[in-house]
Structure 1
Amino acid sequence: MVVVLLARGTPPSDLVRYSLFLVVGVVAPGLVLHKGLRGSQGSWLSDVGLGAATGSVMTLVAWAVAGALSAWPLMWCWPVLSFALLLLPSVRERVRQRPRSWGGGPALALTGAVAVAVWQQVSGYVSVVDLPPSSRGYYPDLLWHLGLAAEATRSVPLQTPQLADAGPLRYHWFANAEVAASSLMSGVEVQTVMLRLWVVPAAVLAVVLTAALAEKVSGSAWVAAAAGWAFLTTAPFPFWPSVVPVLSHLNGYSPSQLFAYTPFLLALHALVDVARDSGARRGAVAVAMIGCLGASGAKSSALPVLLGGLGVAVLAALVHRRRRAVLIGTSVVVALLTAAALRLVAGGSTGSGIQLLSNLTVMQPYRVLARAEPDFSTLVPSGLVSGPAGPLLLVALLLALGLASVRNLGGLHPFTRTGPRHDLGVWLLAGASLTAFLPLVVIGHSGYSEYYFLYTGLPAGCVLTACWVRDAVTGQRMSPARVARWLAVGAGATVLVGLLTRPGSGDTPGPEEMRGRLVLFVVVLLVVAAGALALGASRRRRLRAATAVLLMGVLAGSAVLTTATGQTGTPLPHDDGLDHLAQSTAAVWIREHVPADALLATNEHCLPADPGVAATRCDSRRWWLSGLSGRRVLVESWDYDPASVAAGGYRDGARLAANQAAFSDPSPATLGALADLGVTWLVAEGGSAGGVSPDLPEHADLRFRTGAVSVYSLR
């Protein structure tokens, strides 16, 4: 990985500084604080992973305090204070508790899972996204997040850097603040942190925390390794690439989702102890609250999923007459925190509404057989139940969703006849993994944001899936050799069949071919289900054990296959015809020569339409200026501004007109109007084709020009 980072232009000094920051500023102080509160959690893997998660959330706390005081160097006080806790004898005693080491087999298995996670991020993100300047385009949302991370280096709470008059940002921006804190404490530029150094450790930590949660619930290192592998794959069953959707839960292009796993899993791990009444209860409650605090602004789906898990745990506690008061009290606290988060640091849900089974419309069969552009204004998606495809489409897509979310269905384990019934920690995980299905059923959104609930609950489902496999194997007393054989069969068959059915470039079947694929898909699944039921009537336990191990092999093989073939669900920017080299070169110049608190204005706000497609609206996601330069812009783009979305365009027409006039009709009056708003620099794109007057240099100082981008300072 280090070789790839250096080969991809990462400055060696930045790599060293960031690595030192992770060790000294995150992992070590977090390890002291977490162990000081809870003691050792069983293994070095769990202790280090949970310590890193605790340190990550506490870095956010330090960032908020230092930013509120306008004294960023104070962030380094948090590691110093954490080490000072070692002066307390009780803390020293807990920190000195020696965790056990895993055996060679589980350690080797989880190391393989971590290697695949690194491979995913390096091949799908680090090797694709360039450091500026570059002629390669950037995914628009990534540029938007870059702008937020840069904003987090100068304001607490965040303002809106793409629209200077929009005020405080209504969005779950804690991931951006985490990147900003990493930049401020390590001395590495925000762009280098987000595009190179942050994403791989974040993905690895998500896998490690999933394994740590599995170890906590099961007490088994093998179950922990299995849960880590189950968490990796983006397509559990890649045999039907044009039917079963690909998930993108470990996606560097969505920093908020990737970061959300850290506080969510930290809180869930501690809440298992709270539910079970394990030792160091007060410490577990404290860590749970630290995790919930971090989750509150990490992703809008995090706390609701956690609250769903607590709700199921409360119901189980009422049935079993155990831990009722503490679980109800914890649920109330988390509910209050969720309500506060929805008011203060939630967002990204603009355009959401009630539409049953809306999530099915993202799948290719619906786009081919029903509607290429789904309508989100109806109660049920048009063409899903009626229409040419009829019930076949609905049945096939529900089955496809079931296959895609099979790991979340691990939450059914405690409901089964052989599942654990009295372990409230298991019920907590079951609720967290199954709660995700409610938004999938009832919420409709053009960006399919309801899938983030599924992603958030996925680690809990993976843990229970691994526990189900362990219980099935233990009940049948399968030998290690037989387990290995079934794992190899599942993994090998997945890789082989997946390679044979891999779609070609631009493979989009027509309606008749798609209808035939759906018929075959439904028939095969029904035959397999009927065969399993028939065999299970006489050899139920043996079948259950073999099926469980085979499923784990399929998940492991799919993790390798989807990563190797690039089926990771990561979006790639299309060739939009923009001069990306000029844009990024100008952005680097601005970063080096323009004050960090300067306010810029630009004349272009819309992305070009796809060639051959008539533009019906302005795709206002042109965020390269704020993202790559890290500076605020008066009016850049407005697609994620709730008020502008509601207005159907930028909400302040007069301000937009004044902004454009400064470029198209420069004069002391038009430029003075922008100067009165605080603008000190102009960034013009496209020359006369972009509405830029040739007279602009007469009224502003040209400071830099490259390609179609010119940078002016106001006199």
Structure 2
Amino acid sequence: MALLAAVAAMFLRHYGVSPRETAVFATFVILGCTVPGVLLWRACRGGSRFAAEEMAAGTALGHVITVLTYVPARWTGHPLFVLASPVMVITVFLVVPRLRRYWRRTGDITRVPLACSWGGAALVGFVVLSTASGFFRQHGLTSPGYLRPYVDLPFHLGLVGELKHHMPPTQPFVSGEPLYYHWFAYADMAAISWVTGIEPQTLLYRLFILAASATSLMLFFAIARRLTERWWAGPAALAIGCLAWGPGMYSWEPSLWAGLLLRDDIAWRSPTHGFGMMLFAAVVLLLVDLLRRQRPGVAPWALLVLLLLGVMGAKATILPLLLAGLLVVVAGGLIAGRRPHRTAVMAALATLPCLLFAQLVLFGGTSDGMVVHPWSLFGTVGAEAASTPRPTAVLVIAVALVTMFGRGCAWVGALSLAFRRQTLCDPPVLLLAGIGGAGIAVAITLRFAGDSQIYFLHGAAPYLSVVAVCGLRAMLPERVDRRSLIALMVAAAVGVAVITMVGEAGGASRPTPEDAVRRVIGPFMLLIASGGVCAVGLVLAGRRRPGLRSLSPALALAFVCGLVLPATLLHARQMVRGLPLDPSTAVIGAGTLEAGRWLRDHSRPDDLVATNSLCGSGDGCDERHFAVAAYTERRVLVESWRFTARNHSIAARRGLPDGSVPFWDRPRLAANDAAFHHPSAEALRRLHDTYGVRWLFADASRDRPAAGLERFARLRYTAGDCRVYELTN
């Protein structure tokens, strides 16, 4: 891990992060999160496994404590009081004699086998740095690299600025609009920015997700190891979850649309998802222990409640998945033993209040534009397959069938558990299977604003990968002799040969809307037929050679792994080359960063800004513009209303796309427009006296303001296409 950290530091240096910033960030994470978190984890959970697991779990717990401390600290106007929690924890564990022993590792200390240790570290480093490289290339920290980010990133940056200066937070892009959102990740970054002095942009675009992703992967490693009691399961779960694609039966789409449904860079595109998955993994790791203990005691439950409080505001998709998984464990206990699993019931009762609080308070009781819309997730896939914005229903059903088959092949071990009742009924396995099943069910049944139902699938995918490893553990023989190993390799080779033949038969050109259904279904049916022939051959071989009969399930798994292998290797090669740049980008005017930071440094946190960088109704521009609030760290009268709860509600009620909803406060929009396009003493006085605007931020790259604006407002700063004006009484 030390080598991995050194490589990451050099990697960050190459992409514009100074060694000082990296060192200061690492110091805060270690002393402010990891050390106090590990101490509490050891004291409450009891026992010890291996160092990387404790460090990862302690880091996740430390971030929860940071957020829960920062909220009251910021609310009372003393954000640096966030340091009180790590100082207090460390002091208590130094002063109290019976707690000093937790500075040393306790319990069952195990050493990771060298091959698994290096293999796990290599996979974590490869996945994190390869996904980061593509993101870093598109998101520079200075001009011109920051001018075309992924379209949602300025939105996230604006919320970090909002949480840095205000508690409770509101929407900084529309003054006065409530913020019904999972905002704990932004509070965490705001706290780190206060303590370290690192710019929020550097945290968001470089440091925060890099560390959170590495921590999450180490926790998934630990969960797989804990469930199977096999060290190889950790690297296997990471490989399946991060690298495996479905069978590449189309040469024109070898990923089987995995790049649309399970993006490699999802944590970078959505920092709330990256942060939430880190905390979620710590919760699951703790629950695995609780579900297998007879009498866990009070301390682990206190630890679980603390983690649930952090998950509550980290990502809206997590608690529903967790509750669904716990209910599956309860149902499994009722079916298998005619009584519910006591620990699962207690965990569900602890989860439910957190879910209700999140829904009613943090999310304001809104549905976020949720509608029941089965198969909507595959509409984008069908459009991509046929290169048409309006795929037919038959095509959508076809790609849904093929896609689910492909993911089933990647997670074939999970499907094999249906034939291993003893393993399937293990409560932790049931928990993970329930999480995975709920994620898939919600993703293919409901539709949220901006197709956000995809995050349910992303939240479930790592746990389905761990369940798949549990299935492999149950299906593979304990010891594989030389003859059996040869048979398994032959079965995998046959799978590779079959998928190669199917891919070549499907043609290399992308389908047209007219022949898309035939081009999608044809190779799929050929693959099913080929697989059927191989299955019949396996049955016949088992009859002639009884020694192969007991190996038949393992041979079937090896065959499916052979089907998946070519596309998986192609995926790994693409990750080595770096992920392609995202075409969905925002356009930020030159000078926005410089002008925004000048305004931040010369204004008060409560000062209100008005800008011309917005879209009116039907003017044809992309209304997802958040850069003014992002770089000024100030609230804006109106900049973009696209991601507000009210916008989502109106869109769902009227059946409109999210981007087609006009702004509901037309007088405010008219007053804002008059100040920039028809400036007068009266227009600017109305903006100042009625709405409380103190500053004007004009961006000529989007909409050039009227020439006479300087007669009524004082020009204070110019950078690139941007000008900052101050309104005086």
TM-score by length of 1: 0.87
Other structure's SS at 1:467 match: helix
Equivalent residue number for residue 527 of structure 2: 525
Equivalent residue number for residue 557 of structure 1: 569
**Cα deviation, residue 180, structure 1:** 1.3
Which stretch shows the higher mean deviation, 137-146 or 594-603? 594-603
Which stretch shows the higher mean deviation, 236-245 or 356-365? 236-245
Distance, in Å, in 2 between the alignment partners of 1:250 and 1:284 is 33
The correspondence of residues 63-462 of structure 1 with structure 2, limited to 5 A, is 63-86=70-93, 87-88=95-96, 91-98=99-106, 99-134=109-144, 136-167=147-178, 169-233=179-243, 235-238=245-248, 240=250, 242=253, 243-246=256-259, 247-248=262-263, 250-251=265-266, 252-277=268-293, 280-318=296-334, 319-321=336-338, 324-346=341-363, 350-364=368-382, 368=386, 372-373=389-390, 383-385=392-394, 394-404=397-407, 411-412=414-415, 414-417=417-420, 420-445=423-448, 447-462=450-465
Distance, in Å, in 1 between the alignment partners of 2:344 and 2:488 is 43
Equivalent residue number for residue 667 of structure 1: 680
Other structure's SS at 1:682 match: strand
**Cα deviation, residue 192, structure 1:** 1.0
Distance, in Å, in 1 between the alignment partners of 2:359 and 2:471 is 35
Q: Deviations over 1:527-556 (max 9, x none)?
A: 243135324533454343245456668476
Distance, in Å, in 2 between the alignment partners of 1:200 and 1:404 is 27
**Cα deviation, residue 91, structure 1:** 3.9
CA contact (8 A) 1:685 1:709 kept: yes
**Cα deviation, residue 290, structure 1:** 2.1
Distance, in Å, in 2 between the alignment partners of 1:344 and 1:103 is 47
Alignment coverage as a number of residue pairs: 685
Distance, in Å, in 2 between the alignment partners of 1:278 and 1:636 is 55
Distance, in Å, in 2 between the alignment partners of 1:103 and 1:176 is 38
Which stretch shows the higher mean deviation, 592-601 or 77-86? 592-601
**Cα deviation, residue 591, structure 1:** 3.6
Structure 1 residues 536 and 481: alpha-carbon distance in aligned structure 2, compared to 1, 3 A threshold:
closer
Structure 1 residues 417 and 472: alpha-carbon distance in aligned structure 2, compared to 1, 3 A threshold:
closer
Distance, in Å, in 2 between the alignment partners of 1:551 and 1:360 is 24
**Cα deviation, residue 565, structure 1:** 4.7
The correspondence of residues 53-64 of structure 1 with structure 2, limited to 5 A, is 53-64=60-71
Other structure's SS at 1:140 match: coil
Extract unaligned runs of 5+ from structure 2.
1-7, 543-547, 652-660
**Cα deviation, residue 698, structure 1:** 0.7
Structure 1 residues 67 and 551: alpha-carbon distance in aligned structure 2, compared to 1, 3 A threshold:
farther
Q: Deviations over 1:416-463 (max 9, x none)?
A: 236514421111111111111221232134622222111111121111
TM-score by length of 2: 0.86
Equivalent residue number for residue 545 of structure 1: 554
Distance, in Å, in 2 between the alignment partners of 1:683 and 1:91 is 55
AA partner of residue 606 (structure 1): C
CA contact (8 A) 2:312 2:355 kept: yes
**Cα deviation, residue 272, structure 1:** 1.6
**Cα deviation, residue 414, structure 1:** 4.3
Distance, in Å, in 1 between the alignment partners of 2:20 and 2:137 is 20
Other structure's SS at 1:600 match: strand
Q: Deviations over 1:496-519 (max 9, x none)?
A: 979x99x999x8542355344313
Equivalent residue number for residue 611 of structure 1: none
The correspondence of residues 580-659 of structure 1 with structure 2, limited to 5 A, is 580-606=589-615, 619-645=622-648, 646=650, 648-659=661-672
CA contact (8 A) 2:39 2:58 kept: yes
Equivalent residue number for residue 712 of structure 1: 725
Q: Deviations over 1:313-332 (max 9, x none)?
A: 00122232566333223212
Structure 2 residue aligned with 1:514, among 498, 513, 516?
516
Equivalent residue number for residue 612 of structure 1: none
- Percent identical pairs in the alignment equals 26
Q: Deviations over 1:592-643 (max 9, x none)?
A: 44444322110121399xxxxxx78553111111123322211111111232
Other structure's SS at 1:436 match: helix
**Cα deviation, residue 297, structure 1:** 1.4
Query: Does 2:49 correspond to 1:37?
Result: no
Other structure's SS at 1:293 match: helix
Structure 1 residues 607 and 668: alpha-carbon distance in aligned structure 2, compared to 1, 3 A threshold:
closer
Distance, in Å, in 2 between the alignment partners of 1:301 and 1:491 is 40
AA partner of residue 357 (structure 1): W
Distance, in Å, in 1 between the alignment partners of 2:39 and 2:75 is 26
**Cα deviation, residue 483, structure 1:** 9.2
CA contact (8 A) 1:172 1:299 kept: yes
Distance, in Å, in 2 between the alignment partners of 1:458 and 1:225 is 16
CA contact (8 A) 1:472 1:541 kept: no
**Cα deviation, residue 583, structure 1:** 2.6
CA contact (8 A) 1:408 1:433 kept: no
**Cα deviation, residue 644, structure 1:** 3.5
Distance, in Å, in 1 between the alignment partners of 2:715 and 2:490 is 65
Structure 1 residues 273 and 528: alpha-carbon distance in aligned structure 2, compared to 1, 3 A threshold:
farther
Distance, in Å, in 2 between the alignment partners of 1:302 and 1:269 is 15
Distance, in Å, in 2 between the alignment partners of 1:405 and 1:25 is 41
**Cα deviation, residue 660, structure 1:** 1.2
Distance, in Å, in 1 between the alignment partners of 2:692 and 2:584 is 33
**Cα deviation, residue 85, structure 1:** 3.9
CA contact (8 A) 2:134 2:579 kept: no
Distance, in Å, in 1 between the alignment partners of 2:507 and 2:151 is 26
Structure 2 residue aligned with 1:686, among 680, 692, 700?
700
Other structure's SS at 1:152 match: helix
Q: Deviations over 1:210-265 (max 9, x none)?
A: 11111221222211121122221374445546343321265201111111111111
**Cα deviation, residue 400, structure 1:** 1.4
Structure 1 residue aligned with 2:536, among 527, 534, 545?
534
**Cα deviation, residue 559, structure 1:** 5.3
Equivalent residue number for residue 656 of structure 2: none
